[in-house]
Amino acid sequence: MSGPVGTFCLVLHSHLPWLAHHGRWPVGEEWLYQAWAHSYLPVVDVVSRLASEGRQDLLTLGVTPVLAAQLDDPYCLRGLHDWLGGWLLRAHEAAPRLPDLAAHEHRAAAAALTDFETRWRHGASPVLRGLADAGAMELLGGPATHPFGPLLLPEVRAFALETGLADQTLRTGTRPAGIWAPECGYTPGMEDGYAAAGVRRFLVDGPALRGVTAFGRTVGTSDVVAFGRDLDVTYRVWSPRSGYPGGRDYRDFHTFDHASGLKPSRVTGKSVAPEAKQPYDPERAAAAVARDAADFVSVVRERLAGLRDQHGRPALTVAAFDTELFGHWWHEGPAWLEAVLRALPEAGVRVTTLRGATDAGLVGAPVDLPPSSWGSGKDWRVWAGEQVADIVALNDQVQKTLVSSTAPGRARDPLRDALAQEALLALSSDWAFMVSKDSAAGYARDRARTHAGHVEELAGLLAGGRRGAAARRIAHWAATPFGSVDSRGLAG
């Protein structure tokens, strides 16, 4: 057969909960600024440089509305600028003790500052919109605050999705036709809600398609296409046991020089104690990037060749990751991405977006999907298990209060809009995830309870006709992400 051996789609999911004004360190705004500096800036820079060479349809990028709001927020933009300056100062201070590392970090921090000051000072949306409009990538949307959809009331699920899609339309000028379903969560019937909202494609995890991910599949009787992560390909990178980021020559994420906060060591070995790890060597890391990029290209090509033989025509593989893996967790990840995106076409693999795959007809027969997610067990246990029963109960009450507090009307009501926004923040899937994974569980529970408490307090004041008191209470709450939440959407 002539032509490409098959099609590769890279999908990146960028998401953090609303962190501004809710703590600084170790969980809070520091989390946002680290991910922004080490992942969002360099990953977008890779896309921009490849696009400047005339390359198109490089990848599919999801930026959740709650993250996009922070990447455009003046307070967060000032905070990142300060953080980048602090990174540069930390590199200077480390120079007498760690000269090689300090020089490496100085170059990285200076480049990030220049990039931010020349392209990002007015927010992420102009940058992303320019790349999407130029055809370099496809932007995905999603529900406003990344709630776990299967556990939402149908009307709340529809409201969260519409709020998120409308927000992205305001930011980028185009209503997204594809979404990364939060946590790849699915329950039968969700495709009908997607179709009603104008969503034409979404992501599920590979096991939801019983591992048959060679083509997108329309779901049920709808024309909405589900694309599944090909775990055989994705886990070549994102596997805690054997993924590339654990390679001995890459920078170790967990080992710190505590005086500067910089990371001076390479992985060295999985069982090597932090104090015994070897110094980080950028040249060794660059050689590892080249080696692992070549290996991944070989894996993709072999996978697609096998699928072509199996199905009798060129097929598809979708590798999907959290964006924060590239640069934040895996320091060399952006360089690896660039090497892979350059090498795949040379190896006879077509690289495109989910939209491009759909337009190329890489869609198979309809399928009925089971309840699923990409979490532990590929079911709902992370967000609905016994360990988060308190958050599940809290979310149920938040939804009931939200629905019962909604009043139809011609004019917007800023107080009810504020109630809806606090409800959406309470319903973020992050809180249950952090508890289930025992990752800052106390912070997560506090955040969920704080937002849920605001919902109940505001609902009580509105029910009692105490609008003045409600407005005064809202004025004392931390700033919130959206200015466009319209609670009238819940009233039908």
Q: What is the pLDDT of residues 137-176, one digit of tens each?
A: 999 999 999 999 999 999 999 999 999 999 999 999 999 9
Residues 378-431: tens digit of each pLDDT = 999 999 999 999 999 999 999 999 999 987 777 889 999 999 999 999 999 999
Mean pLDDT of 127-145: 97
Expressed in angstroms, the distance from the first to the final Cα of the chain is 53
422: annotated active-site residue? no
Residue 239, pLDDT above cutoff 60: yes
CATH 1.20.1430.10 domain position(s) in the chain: 385-491
- Residue 395 to residue 113: CA distance in whole angstroms: 40
Q: Name the least confident of 210-219, 436-445, 477-486.
A: 477-486
In CATH, the number for domain 385-491 is: 1.20.1430.10
Give which of 39, 202, 147 is closest to 430, Cα–Cα. 147
Measured CA distances, 175 to 143, 200, 343 (Å) = 13, 11, 32
Q: Is the dihedral of CA 393, 395, 400, 405 positive or negative?
A: positive
Q: What stretch of H or E contains 396? A: helix 389-405
Q: What pTM did the predictor assign?
A: 0.96
* Structure confidence at residue 492 as a pLDDT band (50, 70, 90): low
CATH 3.20.110.10 domain position(s) in the chain: 6-141+176-367
Q: In percent, how much of the chain has pLDDT > 70? A: 99
Buried b (16+ CB within 10 A) or exposed e, 233-251: bbbbbbeeeebbbbbebbb
Distance of CA 338 to the CA centre of its chain: 19
Buried b (16+ CB within 10 A) or exposed e, 373-405: bbbeebbbebbbbeebeebbebbeebbebbeeb
- Largest distance between two CA atoms of the chain: 73
* CB-CB neighbours of 201 under 10 Å: 25
Fold held by 6-141+176-367 = 7-stranded beta/alpha barrel (3.20.110)
Phi, psi of 15 (to 5 degrees): -155, 135
Residues 313-372: tens digit of each pLDDT = 999 999 999 999 999 999 999 999 999 999 999 999 999 999 999 999 999 999 999 999
Catalytic-labelled residue, pool 162, 183, 249, 292 = 183
- Residue 85 to residue 107: CA distance in whole angstroms: 12
pLDDT of residue 1: 46
pLDDT of residue 65: 97
73: annotated active-site residue? no
Give which of 320, 375, 380, 13 is closest to 187, Cα–Cα. 380
pLDDT of residue 475: 94
Catalytic-labelled residue, pool 322, 379, 413, 446 = 322
